[in-house]
Structure 1
C-alpha cells in the first residue's frame, strides 16, 4: 500500500509582488539533497497532466494543514530547470497568507514541502543516490521549517506498526536521523546490521540509538 510522503524542498523565489503573487522553483532537477534523493526531469509530468485534466492544480497549504489553504497556484509546470510554480497568496482574505507573504518578502520563508505519493524510483548504486522518477503531487505547502527528525522516525515506526513495509528511502532517512552517516546508512541498507563497524567514528553511538529505537517500536 502506498502512503503519503513529504519531500522538503528549497523554494527558489524569483519574485514576490506586493499583491501576493510569487513565482519560483519548488524543485530543481538533478540536484542531490541532504538525504541522497535526486528528482529527475519528468518526475512530475504525469501528475501535472492529471491535474490539468481536472482543470485545477494541487492545493497551496500552510504547513501541510488541509484546513488552512492560503492561496492558489495559477501555474505549475516542468521546464529545463525544475518544477516551476506561480501562485497567488490571498493576503486580503487570510491572516496566514499575509503572514507567509511577509516572510517571503523578508526572505525568512524559503521552504516548500510537497505532499505526494512516490510512484516510481530506483537506487543508483554508482552514485549512491535515490532517483525519484515519478511523483504524484497531492498538495504543495509553504513551510517555515522542514519536517523535524522525530517526525521522520515516527513515520517509519507507524508504517511498521500497521504491518506495512516502509520504502527504502524512508528507512535510510530514519537511519540518518539517529546518527548514521550517509555511507553507514547505505551500507546498513545494502548488507544489514553487520555492515557497520562500531569502531567507525560515531558508529557505536548510532548503533546504540538504533537499538533504543527498535525497542520502542
Structure 2
C-alpha cells in the first residue's frame, strides 16, 4: 500500500517526560503540492496512527494517545519512549530544534480538484511522523544550497531522503540524488560567488525521473 505524505511546520511542545502536544496538520493551508486539508477530513478515522521518525515503520518513536480534529486542524498528544535510544535521540533533537516538523502518512479517500487546489475532504490516517525536511523538493532548495558540494556523499543522502519523503521509489530517489549531486558540482563557481542550486536546476535534474 502506497501512502501519501503532508508536511506541517513543527507546532508542538515537548516536556522532559517526553509528552508531546501540538498540531500534525492545519486546515485551509495550501501546501507546496497544491493540497488543502479541509475541516472534517479526519472525522471517521478509527485507527490510532503510529508515531514514527521520517515515515519509517522500523523507527517507532512512541505512541499517540490523543488524535482529534478541532477548529484549526489535527491536534495530537503523545508520549515519546524515553526508554529507547531512538526516543531519547528524537526528544533531544526536538528540544534542540534540529527536527523541523511533523508529517502525516495517509491515503486520500475523497479528494476534489478546485480552483484553489486539491481539497482533501476525507483522509485515511496511518501515521504521524517527526521529520527533518518537508515532503517536497521545492521546499528545501534553500537547505540544498548550504550543502558543501565537495562532499557528494552527504549531498546524495540528503536528496535521497527528501525524494523518499516525496513518495518516490528507492531507485528513483537514488537516481535523483545522483543527478542533483552532478548538477550541484557543475554549478560551482569561484569563492564568494556560488549561486547554489536553484529551483530550476533541481527541476531539470529531476525531469523524467517520475
Q: How far did 1:153 drift?
A: 7.5
- TM-score normalised by the chain length of structure 2: 0.65
List alignment gaps of at least 5 residues for structure 1.
52-56, 159-177, 179-201
Q: How far did 1:148 drift?
A: 5.6
- TM-score normalised by the chain length of structure 1: 0.64
Partner residue of 2:103 out of 91, 97, 113? 113
Paired residues, what number? 157
Partner residue of 1:154 out of 168, 171, 177? 168
Corresponding position: 1:74 with 2:65: yes
Partner of 2:44, secondary structure, is helix
Provide the residue aligned with 1:142 in structure 2.
130
Q: How far did 1:3 drift?
A: 3.3
Partner of 2:89, secondary structure, is helix
Kindly provide the CA deviation profile for residues 108-158 of structure 1, in whole angstroms up to 9, marking residues without a partner as x. 323112111110111112x3x111111101111111223363443835x98
Q: How far did 1:99 drift?
A: 1.2
Partners of 1:8 and 1:111 within 8 A in 2: yes
1-side partners of 2:167 and 2:16: how far apart?
A: 39
What is the alpha-carbon root mean square deviation over aligned residues? 2.8
Q: Which runs of 4+ in 1 moved over 3 A?
A: 147-155
Partner of 2:31, secondary structure, is coil
List alignment gaps of at least 5 residues for structure 2.
138-162, 173-179, 181-197
Partners of 1:11 and 1:27 within 8 A in 2: no
Partners of 2:11 and 2:23 within 8 A in 1: yes
